[in-house]
Amino acid sequence: MKTRKLGTLEVSELGFGCMNLSGNYNAPAPREQGIKTIRTAFENGVTFFDTAEVYGPYTNEELVGEALQPIRNQVKIATKFGFAIDGTVALDSRPARIRRVVEESLARLRTDRIDLYYQHRVDPAMPIEDVAGTVKDLIQEGKVLHFGLSEPSAKTIRRAHAVQPVSAVQNEFSLWTRNVELNGILATCEELGIGLVPWSPVGAGFLTGAFDTTTRFDEKTDFRAGFPRFSREFMPLNMPLIEWLKGYATKKGATPSQIALAWLLAKSPNVVPIPGTRSEAHLLENLGASRVQLSAADVQEIDTSVTKFPVFGDRMGKDHMASIDYTA
């Protein structure tokens, strides 16, 4: 596995998003399965693992901590703060809370430092300069090594970066969520030398080709049940994109998810996708994307082709979309 830089943080060019192991897109996986999947990722070259205190909540950090403890010095761990975790999607990035929850995350992760500490969502009630300053203090104390932001605007990135250099920005980015190419996020990251970490790089499973118009999601355990793109109204309208992707992947001797990931890798050397899965077979399939080489002409062909397929429906439900930073 080749490596890439998120600022000055060197990681495998494909990371592993651990969220799905503890729910959100399904019921939590059995603990031993989760540990085995994480360790299989490492055995196949992954050195960058992503989690957050809100996943579970808390149980995902505990799982990641247990799985990676024997190989802690050979991997980089990213986690996040910023949700109030009070049964709602409220935000809380007060400095006092950051200082408290970093200690809790360190304990759950069984480590003495967090390689990359993201603000999970920008808190409009707290100046980003205060957040960046608090993380700067934690970096000086050695508890955190690098600072990140998730779903910020370009303006917020610049304001934070002026206080404490931002190593990585984590935004949703995939063949059917290309906002970062239009709103200045990708350009800002490239200008400032910040890595871009696409979450949901295979479209919450849509770009794998595993779903069709009969697919239904459990309203009790799966966020996608409330995501408009996966609704009965819009899913049929979105199918032409995946049908095209299946055909293109066949032509390239790859799978749809491999093309989706290879396209992201080819977009910029600053990009490090973090696909997640509970299936070892899907894990190995995703990692195979690093062997799919797309030329500039290939990327142009893909870009041109997907513009023919408008995406119907918002990428998340109203509550989740309400926490996105649109600061102009």
Catalytic residues, which ones?
Answer: 55
Cβ partners under 8 Å of residue 42, min gap 6: 68, 71, 74, 75
C-alpha to C-alpha distance for 177 and 189, rounded to whole angstroms: 17
C-alpha to C-alpha distance for 280 and 38, rounded to whole angstroms: 9
C-alpha to C-alpha distance for 299 and 305, rounded to whole angstroms: 10
C-alpha to C-alpha distance for 232 and 260, rounded to whole angstroms: 24
C-alpha to C-alpha distance for 50 and 267, rounded to whole angstroms: 21
Q: What count of other Cβ atoms lies within 10 Å of the Cβ of residue 283?
A: 20
| Residue 323: φ, ψ to 5° | -95, 5
Element (H, E) at 265: helix 256-267
Question: DSSP 3-state assignment of 171?
Answer: strand
Q: What count of other Cβ atoms lies within 10 Å of the Cβ of residue 288?
A: 17
DSSP percent split of the chain into helix, strand, coil, nearest 5: 45, 15, 40
Helices (H), 141-279: 154-163, 179-182, 185-192, 235-252, 256-267
